[in-house]
Amino acid sequence: MKTPRRLPVVLLALLLPASLLLGSCSKDHEPMPAPLYLLDQSWQLIESEGKPVPVPVGGVATSLTLSSVDNLSAGRAWCNQYGGQFMLVPGTSYLTFSGQASTRATCAEQKQETRYLDLLPQVRRYTISHRQLQLFDSERPQPLLVFEGK
């Protein structure tokens, strides 16, 4: 009579670890997109094309904010305010930017700013991990731009 009672316990002991292992498998090794963390917060640029981006001496950090209300992107680059539109497909990592309009002030970092504004429309996907937003194009495995949440 004890055998029938133990059989379900033995099965449970075998099935529980198997279900935990299968439940932790994922198709990709990328973190799930997290629009909740992506939108309506200021992101500070810390890396561009694999190179660190320091804040200019006496300057303002390059930033990006994506609005959940109107799909507008806005921020400050080295010299200028900029903005445009973005498109996000909920539940995926797909993210694109329109060309970004900017004010026309010039500064010593103009070349970096121009490159940054040229990179944004190349973005096709993103990941968020450890409060870092990584923006990728469709070709390279390395991020074009890396931001930190502020």
Angle at 142 between CA 111 and CA 109, to 5 degrees: 15
pLDDT band at 150 (very low <50, low <70, confident <90, very high): confident
Tell me, what's the pLDDT at 17? 39
Could you tell me the pTM of the whole model? 0.76
Question: Taking residues 66-91, what's their average pLDDT?
Answer: 94
> Taking 80 as the threshold, does the pLDDT of residue 59 lie above it?
no
**Domain spans of the chain, in order of start:** 35-149
The CATH class given to the 35-149 domain equals mainly beta
In this predicted model, what pLDDT tens digit does every residue of 97-140 receive, in sequence order? Answer: 999 999 989 888 899 999 999 999 999 999 999 899 999 999 99
